[in-house]
């Protein structure tokens, strides 16, 4: 008789433990979902921004992170630090939406910065050469969307037809990206 009681007690204990564990997991799942909903608000376009289009973000390691169009994007520099870079280009994300984008740059950091942001809007990104090319890349001109980067002591951005010329360093690239995203106008 005692053995049956022990099995009954063990069965009740197992059911109680299963119920407690199920409730605990349910609380974690619901809490995580609710927390994520409060942290990310993709319907607002630029998160933590103000009505002038200036956006705030946060520093994560050595990258500036912000949510744009519901997408978390990271940059080498915050928007305020590149306001002095002249950007004479009227490009927006709709310019590239669903199209191929070519990049003429031999700098991997520059290529990554451009691709990590504009990659959400274009159909594909590919290395190319602006004009004649000694490397095994396609040769492009301003009839197609191409970004040409050149190292220069002075930062500036300008465009001609479908070509965007970025001279300088990562600050110039970020200035172009912020303008394209509509953050720095």
The pLDDT of residue 157 is 96
Buried-exposed string 60-96: b where 16+ CB fall within 10 A, e elsewhere: eeeebebbbeeeebbbbbbbeebeebebebebebebb
What value does the mean pLDDT take over residues 85-105?
A: 92
171 vs 2, higher pLDDT: 171
3-state secondary structure of 113: helix
- The tokens describing 13, both together, are 């204990």
Q: Is the pLDDT of residue 41 over 50?
A: no
- Higher-pLDDT residue of 59 and 185 is 59
Asked whether 24 and 49 are in contact (CB, 8 A), the reply is: no
Rounded to two decimals, the pTM is 0.69
């Amino acid at each position: 008789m005692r053995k049956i009681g022990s099995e009954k007690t063990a069965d009740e204990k197992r059911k109680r433990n299963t119920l407690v564990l199920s409730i605990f997991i349910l609380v974690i799942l619901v809490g995580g979902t609710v927390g994520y909903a409060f942290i990310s608000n993709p319907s607002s376009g630029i998160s933590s921004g103000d009505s002038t289009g200036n956006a705030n973000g946060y520093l994560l390691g050595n990258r500036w992170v912000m949510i744009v169009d519901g997408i978390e994007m990271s940059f080498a520099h915050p928007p305020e630090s590149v306001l002095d870079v002249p950007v004479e280009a009227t490009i927006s994300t709709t310019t590239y939406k669903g199209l191929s984008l070519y990049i003429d740059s031999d700098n991997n950091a520059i290529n990554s910065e451009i691709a990590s942001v504009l990659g959400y809007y274009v159909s594909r990104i590919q290395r190319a050469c602006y004009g004649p090319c000694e490397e095994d890349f396609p040769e492009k001109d301003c009839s197609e969307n191409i970004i040409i980067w050149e190292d220069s002591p002075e930062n500036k951005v300008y465009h001609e037809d479908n070509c965007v010329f970025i001279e300088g360093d990562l600050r110039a690239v970020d200035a172009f990206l912020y303008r394209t995203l509509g953050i720095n106008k």
